[in-house]
């Protein structure tokens, strides 16, 4: 990555999070990165923070890029594609974080048979703790996948999936932070109800979720195994787990993932129809 020129089109929350991760991890020096955005104030902020080159139009930056990252809203893809189509070279890797736009759609809009890798990150990229899934289309090679994995590995964990599974990824990890925020809020409220000051309850709830997730990641043990280790027969945790089962927490979370997956599929289908694909 050190010798690759990176063109980031879109300096919003996700784009700027990725930019920060790339630079802080040393994947690419600032002098090798150009950011394109229509908001001049945002561009100036990114130039001041990171020392990258910035511009409001892709123009001459496209031709010299090795990797083009599309971090824009899906509805403006046709305009962006039209702006860069003439300058794009077939050997350039295109990485997209646009929700609902298939990799083949991007490749065909550019018209140069570029390798395209599609990435579904989540909001935790802003604190370098994202859960990202990647998928791609022909003619993407193993090298192209590795570049995408390296880029998004700078802001969290990365897995590969078939592109048809990205709706399920959206339902699980894309929307997942909202489910966890709800759990943290409920735990905090429970602590307050039992007499804890709210700031103390919130700190304990957030750290408990963070610590539990870290144990799952670092131990490699199944969550059920870890749960059994903290559940004494007839004890407090056993009583609490019985209540969660009676109240349907597990079923509710399963249904939440399924509902978000179905909605993602529906929105993607509507987006494809409106874009004429």
Please check whether residue 99 is in contact with residue 70, taking contact to mean a CB–CB distance below 8 angstroms. Answer: no
The pLDDT value recorded for residue 12 is: 93
Q: Is 149 helix (H, G, I), strand (E, B) or coil?
A: helix
Q: Which domains does the chain show, CATH number per domain?
A: 6-167 (3.40.50.720), 174-260 (1.10.3730.10)
Please check whether residue 34 is in contact with residue 55, taking contact to mean a CB–CB distance below 8 angstroms. Answer: yes
Q: Is 136 helix (H, G, I), strand (E, B) or coil?
A: strand
What is this structure's pTM? 0.91
Per-residue pLDDT of the chain (277 residues), as tens digits, is 778 999 999 999 999 999 999 999 999 999 999 999 999 999 999 999 999 999 999 988 999 999 999 999 988 999 999 999 999 999 999 999 998 899 999 999 999 999 999 999 999 999 999 999 999 999 999 999 999 999 999 999 999 999 999 999 999 999 999 999 999 999 999 999 999 999 999 999 999 999 999 999 999 999 999 999 999 999 999 999 999 999 999 999 999 999 999 998 988 888 777 666 5
* Contacts (Cβ under 8 Å, ≥6 apart) of 62: 7, 68, 84, 87, 88
The pLDDT value recorded for residue 275 is: 62
Whole-number Cα distances in Å, 202 to 78, 93, 187: 44, 43, 8
Report the distance separating Cα 141 and Cα 112, nearest Å: 16
The pLDDT value recorded for residue 269 is: 84
Q: pLDDT tens across 78-117, in order?
A: 999 999 999 999 999 999 999 889 999 999 999 999 999 9
């Amino acid at each position: 990555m050190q010798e690759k020129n990176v063109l980031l089109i879109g300096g919003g929350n996700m784009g700027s999070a990725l930019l920060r991760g790339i630079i802080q991890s040393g994947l690419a020096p600032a002098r090798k990165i150009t950011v394109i955005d229509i908001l001049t104030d945002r561009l100036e902020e990114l130039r001041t923070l990171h020392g990258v080159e910035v511009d409001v139009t892709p123009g001459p930056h496209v031709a010299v890029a090795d990797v083009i990252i599309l971090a824009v809203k899906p509805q403006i893809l046709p305009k962006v594609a039209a702006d860069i189509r003439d300058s794009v070279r077939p050997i350039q890797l295109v990485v997209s974080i646009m929700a609902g736009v298939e990799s083949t759609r991007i490749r065909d809009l550019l018209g140069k048979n570029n390798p395209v890798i599609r990435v579904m990150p989540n909001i935790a990229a802003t604190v370098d703790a994202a859960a990202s899934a990647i998928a791609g289309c022909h003619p993407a090679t193993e090298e192209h996948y590795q570049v995408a994995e390296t880029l998004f590995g700078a802001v969290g964990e990365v897995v590969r999936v078939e592109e048809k599974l990205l709706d399920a990824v959206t339902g699980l990890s894309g929307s997942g932070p909202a489910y966890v925020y709800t759990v943290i809020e409920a735990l905090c409220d429970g602590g307050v109800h039992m007499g804890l000051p709210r700031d103390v309850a919130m700190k304990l709830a957030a750290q408990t979720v963070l610590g539990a997730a870290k144990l799952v990641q670092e131990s490699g043990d199944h969550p059920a195994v870890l749960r059994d280790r903290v559940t004494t027969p007839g004890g407090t945790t056993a009583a609490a787990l019985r209540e969660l089962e009676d109240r349907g927490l597990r079923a509710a979370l399963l249904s939440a993932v399924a509902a978000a997956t179905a909605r993602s599929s529906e929105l993607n289908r509507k987006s494809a129809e409106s874009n004429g694909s």
